[in-house]
Amino acid sequence: MAKIQDIGKIHHSREKLLKKGTSAVSKTGYFQLSNRRYLGNKYKLLGFIEDIVNQKCGEVKSFCDIFAGTGVVGERFNTKYIDVISNDFLSSNYACLQTFLNTLQALDIEKIQYLNNIFVDDNYFSEHFGNRYFSMENAKKIGAIREEIDNIVDNQQEKNNLICSLLYAVDKVANTVGHYDAFRKNMDSIKPVNLLIPNIDYSHNINNKVYQKDANQLIKKISCDVLYIDPPYNSRQYSDAYHLLENLAEWKKPDVVGIAKKMDRKHIKSDYCFKNASNAFSDLIGNANCKHILFSYNNTQKLKDDRSNARISDDDIFDILNNKGKVVVYEMSYKAFTTGKSSSDGNIERVFYCKVK
């Protein structure tokens, strides 16, 4: 760590981390953007990230979350005064980002009720995923709902909203530890799948934008005050962990193979999971048109399990960011949501802040 120029440590009280819009308590019948299990999500780090922005960035008019995942970081900055740009190359994430961060009018509750009471029968989803990731009854219902969504929607945004509602409902009844690399052997405590309504403050979404693009392509087309960068850290592809949600969101009913029943995912492999991730990062930073950069990257660089090792070295991070401006690193202890195999309790989560020259 010899090259770290300045380490600002920020400490948080519990109240601080849970303030403003991140309460996990749901209104009955509704779900929040953060009510979802997602590897590497930054829900517990929102206060930490917000403090860095408040300390370093001054007045912020636009915030771009270019590897948005659940979108929880962009949502934190989504006020009437800040335009939020969110992006993720997975269709499943895109549908949810569109729903929470770009929808301007309420979802038709009658359509949700209708889908919750739909007639179920065998289908593509139950054939492949029933009695594996879901009870057979839930799998039949999930497939039936997804099929019917395409028949009842009036426009693309309504389709995104209903798919999002389905994806969140699916996460609640999946027989998994939170991702779809594998399913649990015992199918216990499985509740019936039930769609809820997204809880959205529409007035904050007016000037927002949501994209489904490769971050390195999108960066050439946008500008913003604050660019938040949270790519995958290691070789685990998000398209492997969330293939099932992607399959359900796209609903092209592809062939699936193996015990995990994965479809072909060649087109959604991230450069940031390969050994040459530094080249992708260098290209991204080189093309960034912004005033401030916050880069989240953790410290799991030399674990025994090679799959968990960080793909971009600290030396590369500093070389690349120092070319763009002055760098400060912030650290916070953090118990991450991992896949369970190579648990990293006591993990230090880092945010590299760069004031662009």
Ligand X SMILES: C[S@@+](CC[C@H](N)C(=O)[O-])C[C@H]1O[C@@H](n2cnc3c(N)ncnc32)[C@H](O)[C@@H]1O
Answer yes or no whether residue 215 interacts with ligand X by CB under 6 A.
Answer: yes
* Residues 263-322 contacting ligand X, CB under 6 A: 270-272
Give, in order, the Cα–Cα distances in Å from 116 to each of 2, 48, 162, 196.
Answer: 57, 39, 11, 9
CB of 11 to ligand X, least distance (A): 21
C-alpha angle 227-42-138 in degrees, rounded to nearest 5: 125
CB of 85 to ligand X, least distance (A): 12
Give Cβ neighbours of residue 317 (< 8 Å, ≥ 6 apart).
Answer: 281, 295, 297, 352
Q: Name the DSSP letter for residue 50.
A: H
Answer yes or no whether residue 69 interacts with ligand X by CB under 6 A.
Answer: yes
CB of 316 to ligand X, least distance (A): 17
Number of residues that bind ligand X (CB under 6 A): 24
**Cβ-based nearer residue to ligand X, 64 or 166:** 64
Smallest CA-to-CA distance from 224 within 122, 85, 330 is with: 85
* Tokens representing residue 97 in the block: 């980002």
Residue of 32, 225, 231, 297 interacting with ligand X (CB under 6 A) = 231
* Amino acid letter, 215: A
**Binding segment for ligand X among 22-30, 85-93, 195-203, 318-326 (CB under 6 A)?**
85-93
Contact 247, 322 (CB under 8 A): no
CB of 230 to ligand X, least distance (A): 4
Answer yes or no whether residue 234 interacts with ligand X by CB under 6 A.
Answer: no
Residue of 33, 60, 73, 84 interacting with ligand X (CB under 6 A) = 73
State the CB neighbour count (10 A cutoff) for residue 306. Answer: 8
Give Cβ neighbours of residue 183 (< 8 Å, ≥ 6 apart).
Answer: 132, 133, 174, 175, 176, 260
Answer yes or no whether residue 42 interacts with ligand X by CB under 6 A.
Answer: yes
Q: Name the DSSP letter for residue 190.
A: P
CB of 354 to ligand X, least distance (A): 18
Residue of 108, 214, 283, 316 interacting with ligand X (CB under 6 A) = 214
Answer yes or no whether residue 238 interacts with ligand X by CB under 6 A.
Answer: yes
- Find the residue with minimal CB distance to ligand X: 69
Answer yes or no whether residue 63 interacts with ligand X by CB under 6 A.
Answer: no
Give Cβ neighbours of residue 19 (< 8 Å, ≥ 6 apart).
Answer: 47
Residues contributing to the site for ligand X (CB under 6 A): 38, 40-42, 67-70, 72-73, 87-90, 93, 214-215, 230-232, 238, 270-272
